[in-house]
Structure formats: C-alpha cells, structure tokens
Amino acid sequence: MARPAYRLLHHSLWDLVPIALGLGHFAFVVWLVAAFHSLSWWALVPLALVYAISMSWSINSISHNQIHNAYFSHRAMNRAFDLLLSVTIGFSQTLYRDIHNRHHRGNADLPGPDGKTIDPLSIYQRGKQGQPENPWAYTFLSFFRDDPKPFYDEMKRKRPADARWVKVEIAVTVAFYIALALYNWQAVLWLLPFWYLGQCLSSLNGYYEHFGGNPDLPIAWGVSSYSVLYNLIWMNNGYHAEHHYRPKMHWTKVKAFHREIAEQQREAGVKQISVSHGLGFLVAHRKRQG
C-alpha cells in the first residue's frame, strides 16, 4: 500500500509551503537566465534586485527551517531537497547547516580569553571593547572573510557521509551554473554581482537578528521583529529571540511560544524592532552597555 503523501513530511503539512517555495525559487533562477534576452533593462534591473533579495529570503527562511526541522521523513528526500537548495542559493546547504549549528552553539557570543568566539558568525567577532562590528563592514565583508574549510575538515573526520554529500552539492552546483553559462553567459555574468548582493543581504539580516541582544542571557540571545508581513513572507524568522531560546521548535509554533513567554521576555529586556531584520539599520539603537 502506498504511503500517504502527508506521511512523507516529518513535522507538519505546513512544510509544503517552504517546499513549494523552494521549488518556485529554483524555477525563478532558471527562468531569469532563460528569459534574459527577451527582457528589457527596465525589467532586468528590478528582477535582478528581486533575485538578490530572494537569496537572503531563501537562506533565512526555507533553508533555515530545513536546517532545524528537516521537512521530509526520509533522509534521501532531505538530501535531495538540500541539493536543490544548494543549487538555488549557490553554496552547500549541508556545510551551511554545520556552520549554522555552530552559530547556535555560540549564540552571537563575545570573544573569550583567546580572543575568539564560538559562533563563527558572531557580530562581536571583529568588534572592539565588547561592541559589535560596524554593520556595513559585517554586511559586505563577511562573504570574503568566511572560511568554511576548517569546518569541512572537521566534518570529514567526524561525519564523512555528510562531507561526501558536501562534495556532491558543490559539484552539482558548479555543473549547474556552468550549464547556465553555456546557455547564456551574459545572463550569468549579469546576475553574479546580484548573487553577491544577496549574500550581503543575508549577512545584514543576521546582523540585526542579534544587534542589541544579550550574549549572556539565553532568553535574550536574539532580537525579534513581530512585523506581520515580514513573518508571513519569511516564515516566522522575525521570532528570532524565541528561535534562539528554543532552536528546535518548529517555525509554525514560535508565535504561540512568544505569547507564553512574553512576560519573561519583558522582564529580561528582550529587544524588539518594528521592522524586518534586513531593515534594522533604519531603527535607532542604543550602544551596548558593559
């Protein structure tokens, strides 16, 4: 007897939403290249900007939720979806999972006695005197400074199967973009700086997910935004303080969890911003004390 379709999902039928959006995002990337010569510059520029924003959106919603609560019941299906995400966003989803889990082990921590942070993405890693790094340096330089090789080498020792899949993801991703370039190299060249911009927007998003958080207080590790539109489109990524407090909680449950702990959050001084994290630079912020 065939397994019911909903049984293929490990957590919730709501996960059909990010799955469908992930497929749609991949189709959008292919369409941009295929339709490049038929589009006017008046269309190409805004579409390229949408492409850049979609990179950050996918990384911080579809890809992010897949890391914490893999959508499918079967490992092979999750591997396949990881591969799809890798090809779409342009880097290994499996390696990103490893780095992101390290981020949760450190939770945007301050440098220790050795001058290093546990969290490789910490906004304090290159800051001075206990202050976070300048947001624009973090946004535009993180792409060039991040070095995934040590994490891959450790993965190769401890989880060789994952390391092998990283190679598959990278190889297929490279082959995919070579194929796109052979089809239309001008389109790929045109999109390349916008791909970089998308990575920068993801870093900007990450910066304001923690700027104003309390590295020493678990309930306040993250900064939340309760913008309805942002959380609808970004699949509740705005509930970031709640997410860091309970990182394995499914994305559909964080809103109710926020209501449960709202009083504790107020007492702990959990920071909220009125805009999406990616627009956090529009909000006035107080300098960190201590």
* SS3 of residue 3 by DSSP: coil
pLDDT digits (tens, 9 = 90+) for 135-193: 999 999 999 999 999 999 999 999 999 999 999 999 999 999 999 999 999 999 999 99
Q: Is the pLDDT confidence value at 49 over 60?
A: yes
Report which residue type is found at 249.
Answer: M
Contacts of residue 36, defined as CB under 8 A and 6 or more positions apart, other chains included, come to 44, 184, 186, 187, 190
Q: Is the pLDDT confidence value at 63 over 60?
A: yes
* SS3 of residue 121 by DSSP: coil
Q: Which residues pair with 225 in a beta bridge?
A: 273
Distance between start and end Cα atoms, the chain: 63
Mean pLDDT across 106-126: 96
Strand pairing report for 224-225 and 272-273 = parallel
CA triple 119-120-124, angle to 5 deg:
70
Low-confidence winner among 216-220, 225-229, 230-234, 281-285 (lowest mean pLDDT): 281-285
Q: Is the pLDDT confidence value at 79 over 70?
A: yes
Whether residue 132 contacts residue 209, with contact meaning beta carbons closer than 8 Å, is answered with: no
pLDDT at 7: 80
Whether residue 234 contacts residue 276, with contact meaning beta carbons closer than 8 Å, is answered with: yes
pLDDT digits (tens, 9 = 90+) for 6-47: 689 999 999 999 999 999 999 999 999 999 999 999 999 999
Q: Tell me the percentage of the chain whose pLDDT exceeds 90.
A: 94
Cα 6 to Cα 16: distance, rounded to the nearest angstrom? 9
Contacts of residue 236, defined as CB under 8 A and 6 or more positions apart, other chains included, come to 251, 252, 254, 255
Mean pLDDT across 60-75: 98
pLDDT at 64: 98
pTM (global) more than 0.85: yes
pLDDT digits (tens, 9 = 90+) for 225-238: 999 999 999 999 99
Q: At what angle do helices 149-158 and 93-106 cross, to 10 degrees?
A: 100
Mean pLDDT across 188-206: 98
Residue 1's pLDDT band (cuts 50, 70, 90): very low
Q: What is the mean pLDDT of the chain?
A: 96
> How long, in residues, is the chain?
290
CA-based nearest residue to 247, from 94, 59, 74, 102: 102
Give Cα 74 distance to the centre of its chain. 23
Q: Tell me the percentage of the chain whose pLDDT exceeds 70.
A: 96
Q: Is the pLDDT confidence value at 3 over 60?
A: no
Whether residue 68 contacts residue 83, with contact meaning beta carbons closer than 8 Å, is answered with: no
Low-confidence winner among 2-16, 39-53, 90-104, 124-138 (lowest mean pLDDT): 2-16
Q: Is the pLDDT confidence value at 2 over 70?
A: no
* SS3 of residue 288 by DSSP: coil
Q: Is the pLDDT confidence value at 286 over 80?
A: no
CA-based nearest residue to 122, from 236, 213, 247: 213
Q: Is the pLDDT confidence value at 119 over 60?
A: yes
Cα 194 to Cα 183: distance, rounded to the nearest angstrom? 19
